[in-house]
Amino acid sequence: MSRENAGDLTFSEQYNGPDPLLDAARALSHENGLASVSQTTASTLTLLARLLRPVAAVEVGTGAGTSTLALLRGMPNAGILTSIDTNSTAQAAARDLIDMAGIRHSRLRLMSGRAEDVLQRLAPGAYDMVFVDSEPTNLERMIEPALRLLDTHGLLVIHQTLLKGGVADPVDRSPRTQAARGLLNRLAGQERLERVLLPIGQGLLMLQKTLR
């Protein structure tokens, strides 16, 4: 990453913060070896949810709750977020974070299990937004189950798609980078999907089914 880009990212993080609750969640994530979304990514998720106004949304990768809180802050008061993770301890921390934020307990539904299995159990076409934050090596098998959940105008948002310059660096041949690169290439060839890739945080890819 160039010095200029690194400076832009640092400035953006400072400009889009501070956020005491999210900062505390990130500190907790770091202590427990969990990944968390950046402040700019969290702010983007809140804005997207505020614009889309999802009544029902799904999150893959609860972690300690940074993206969970970001999404719930943007969703309407009646909106319910279903959040999936294999780490029940981290999900408990996310629940505490949501409680501290003063968000109603009933607005967050936590489900424990492998994402690809849990996604298959959810109702098709019943969700307005799906956010997936998973290791790039796992993303491929989640795309179709996630798209299946979306209604006609639903939005799929995928994190960890640029890996801080790794995907754009031809020298980087690590498994996770090649997985992210391969996923982007395959999705680029699908005419049934509208897409936009944003260099925010670890990279945000937004997908929507083509209406034609």
pLDDT digits (tens, 9 = 90+) for 56-110: 999 999 998 999 999 999 999 999 999 999 999 899 999 999 999 999 999 999 9
Number of domains comprising the chain? 1
Looking at residue 185, its pLDDT comes to 95
- C-alpha closest to that of 151 among 123, 117, 171: 123
Indicate whether 1 pLDDT > 70. no
Give the 3-state secondary structure of residue 202: coil
Looking at residue 2, its pLDDT comes to 55
What backbone phi and psi angles, to 5 degrees, belong to 54? -70, 130
Looking at residue 31, its pLDDT comes to 83
Q: How many CA atoms lie within 13 A of 99 on its CB side?
A: 6
36: domain CATH number? 3.40.50.150
| Torsion angle of C-alpha atoms 58, 63, 65, 71, degrees rounded to 10 | -30
Cα 78 to Cα 56: distance, rounded to the nearest angstrom: 9
Q: How many CA atoms lie within 13 A of 190 on its CB side?
A: 17
pLDDT single digits (tens) 174-191 = 999 999 999 999 999 899
> pTM score, two decimals?
0.94
pLDDT single digits (tens) 124-144 = 999 999 999 999 999 999 999
